[in-house]
């Protein structure tokens, strides 16, 4: 009977993730009201209008919500979660930021009671940003990581899990550090690679750059402000992933300098097997 528990939902941040959460809510619990807030009133209205029961509103209008999603840029999440928790009541607050440890520690440092806050992150991924690309499919049937902190009340975690499962998400629980390492390796480093590789895309050689260069560097077409925020928020996880990655690059390059190809070939074969397994899994 999850649908009865959630009659009124808040959404702060009407970008791609917020818009997709709204779309999933509209499909799965259409009768629950949705109150949408965004720094851009146009984005808020765009998302609210596409929900069967949506309207725009301010933080104060969300005080009696059963749950509020915070889907704003990662640098502004702590302040917004703190403000929403300060409204009091019984409202569950779930964020969607891509770097969890920094968000959790900033909120802990603020002194607010974070029992009703469940740190989260939908593994939605993609280059497009903005509510115009929203789709429930990046929430439904996709992993949604929850990283409860020491402050998170077990009841809040249970409630968050119930709401996300109602939306069809695959809920995965892990601690913030494990999440940040996973995302550093799986998303933040890949984007850093793309931004760094872009340096080679000089105008004189642009027509001659092969498909592999284009495919890998295409992730640097992502929103620079969003990625500046994420790299800063998860700078420790990113630095650790980068060190491991550079060692691996050096190791393979050094093997290319050995008199016989054995080690190099074996290493490339192992890598290929891992990626074949990844692709067959998808």
Restricting to residues 185-224, name those near a copy of itself by CB under 8 A: 185-187, 189-203, 205-222, 224
> What residues does 121 pair with on adjacent strands?
145
Nearer to a copy of itself, 57 or 97 (CB): 97
Residue 45 as a binder of a copy of itself (CB under 8 A): the answer is no
Query: If binding means CB under 8 A, how many residues of this protein chain bind a copy of itself?
Result: 84
Residue 228 as a binder of a copy of itself (CB under 8 A): the answer is yes
What is the C-alpha separation between 220 and 225, in angstroms, rounded? 12
Residue 92 as a binder of a copy of itself (CB under 8 A): the answer is no
Residue 225 as a binder of a copy of itself (CB under 8 A): the answer is yes
Q: What is the dihedral of CA 107, 112, 117, 121, to 10 degrees?
A: -10
What is the C-alpha separation between 71 and 120, in angstroms, rounded? 10
Nearer to a copy of itself, 116 or 188 (CB): 188
Residue 272 as a binder of a copy of itself (CB under 8 A): the answer is yes
Interface residues for a copy of itself in 165-184 (CB under 8 A)? Answer: 172, 182-183
Eight-state DSSP code of residue 95: E
Interface residues for a copy of itself in 139-168 (CB under 8 A)? Answer: 143, 145
**251: number of Cβ within 10 Å:** 12
> Which of 141, 139, 143, 97 is closest to 118 using CA atoms?
97
- Contact (Cβ atoms closer than 8 angstroms) between residue 23 and residue 5: no
Nearer to a copy of itself, 115 or 226 (CB): 226
What is the C-alpha separation between 261 and 116, in angstroms, rounded? 57
Least distance (Å) between residue 265 CB and a copy of itself:
4
- Contact (Cβ atoms closer than 8 angstroms) between residue 186 and residue 244: no
Nearer to a copy of itself, 121 or 159 (CB): 121
Q: Which stretch binds a copy of itself (CB under 8 A): 86-94, 107-115, 156-164, 256-264?
A: 256-264
- Contact (Cβ atoms closer than 8 angstroms) between residue 134 and residue 48: no
CA-based torsion, 224, 229, 232, 234: positive or negative: negative
> What residues does 172 pair with on adjacent strands?
145
Q: Which stretch binds a copy of itself (CB under 8 A): 15-23, 52-60, 129-137, 242-250?
A: 242-250
Residue 99 as a binder of a copy of itself (CB under 8 A): the answer is no
What character string, x for contact with a copy of itself (CB under 8 A) and - otherwise, covers 106-145?
-----------------x-xx----------------x-x
> Which of 191, 188, 204, 7 is closest to 90 using CA atoms?
7
Choose which of 9, 34, 169, 238 interacts with a copy of itself (CB under 8 A).
238
Least distance (Å) between residue 66 CB and a copy of itself:
28
């Amino acid at each position: 009977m999850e649908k009865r528990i959630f009659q009124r939902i808040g959404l702060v941040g009407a970008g791609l993730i917020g818009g997709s959460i709204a779309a999933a809510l509209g499909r799965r619990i259409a009768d629950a009201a949705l109150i949408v807030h965004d720094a851009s009133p146009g984005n808020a209205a765009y998302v609210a209008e596409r929900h069967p029961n949506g309207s725009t509103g301010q933080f104060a209008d969300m005080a009696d919500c059963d749950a509020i999603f915070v889907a704003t840029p990662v640098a502004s999440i702590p302040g917004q979660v703190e403000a929403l928790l300060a409204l009091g009541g019984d409202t569950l607050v779930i964020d969607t930021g891509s770097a969890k440890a920094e968000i959790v520690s900033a909120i802990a440092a603020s002194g607010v009671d974070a029992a009703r806050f469940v740190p989260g992150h939908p593994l939605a991924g993609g280059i497009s940003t903005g509510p115009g690309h929203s789709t429930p499919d990046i929430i439904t049937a996709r992993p949604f990581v929850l990283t409860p902190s020491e402050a998170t009340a077990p009841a809040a975690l249970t409630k968050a899990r119930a709401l996300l499962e109602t939306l069809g998400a695959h809920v995965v629980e892990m601690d913030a550090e494990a999440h940040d390492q996973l995302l550093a390796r799986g998303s933040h480093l890949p984007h850093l690679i793309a931004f760094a590789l872009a340096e080679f895309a000089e105008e004189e050689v642009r027509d001659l750059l092969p498909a592999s260069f284009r495919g890998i560097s295409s992730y640097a077409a992502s929103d620079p402000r969003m990625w500046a925020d994420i790299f800063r928020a998860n700078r420790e996880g990113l630095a650790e992933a980068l060190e491991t990655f550079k060692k691996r690059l050096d190791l393979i390059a050094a093997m290319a300098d050995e008199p016989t190809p054995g080690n190099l070939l074996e290493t490339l074969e192992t890598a290929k097997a891992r990626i074949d397994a990844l692709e067959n899994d998808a």
